[in-house]
Amino acid sequence: MAHWTVPDSVAFVLFARRALAAAWVALVLWLVVAFQLFYNVRDAPRTRTDAVIMLGGASNERLPVAQGLREALEIPVLVVSHTDTPGNASADALCHHGAALPDGVVCLRLNEKDTRGEAQAIGSLVAAKGWTNITVVTSRYHVARAGMLINQCTTAHVELFGSTPEFNLKQWVDRFVVETGGLLDVTLRPECR
């Protein structure tokens, strides 16, 4: 009885097709998960909390949402991350309002101007003020990572709201990649605990 074997070149082609199909399936699954985590984000129920905290960056998009929540829910304090960075210009202008800030506005000055630094600063502020519930506003793509970090740094109940950036498809995919890496980093290197 003759024993038939697959030539090496055919075996390689079959292996390459299977590997390519597996990579394609993995990419599609990642896109579905990333879409749910970073785009199709559901906001927390609107409830009155001790403070609304706007995370730094994209302030033209985030600050109006934070101010709107504060006004609609009659939240006494608005905390604004002060970063002195171009993406945070409108929030930084509020903090440079002169010696007197508007009533109930607190500018959060950061040692580290990133989400980890904000989480640490928020944890310290919440502890100092004795707050038990806070509302945090950031961009919708950033809600998952910011929520993980802030929850690692405070025992307060954290409600997250995501503002919606005006991104094209490429910008959204770029954010999906960055935020996926960020979530892995936060999972492997927790902050404050």
Length of the chain: 193
Name residue 162's amino acid: G
| Tens digit of each residue's pLDDT, the chain (193 residues) | 566 665 667 777 888 889 999 999 999 999 999 999 999 988 888 899 999 999 998 999 999 999 999 999 999 999 999 888 888 888 888 887 655 777 888 988 888 888 999 999 999 999 999 999 999 999 999 999 999 999 999 999 999 999 999 999 999 999 999 999 999 999 999 888 6
Query: Whole-angstrom Cα distance, residue 26 to residue 170?
Result: 19
Query: Whole-angstrom Cα distance, residue 17 to residue 126?
Result: 54
CB crowding 14-51: b at 16 or more within 10 Å, else e: eeeeeeeeeeeeeeeeeeeebeebbeebebbeeeebbb
pLDDT value of position 193: 67
CB crowding 94-112: b at 16 or more within 10 Å, else e: bbeeeeeeeeebbbbebee
The Cβ of residue 71 has, within 10 Å, a number of other Cβ atoms equal to: 11
Query: Whole-angstrom Cα distance, residue 117 to residue 86?
Result: 18
Residue 128's closest CA among 46, 51, 44? 51
Query: Whole-angstrom Cα distance, residue 134 to residue 26?
Result: 37
Q: What is the pTM of this model?
A: 0.85
- The answer to whether the beta carbons of residues 28 and 54 sit under 8 Å apart is no
pLDDT value of position 2: 61
Q: Which two tokens stand for residue 36?
A: 């749910």
Q: Is residue 10 exposed (0-12), middle (13-18) or buried (19+ Cβ within 10 Å)?
A: exposed
Q: Which two tokens stand for residue 77?
A: 């304090």
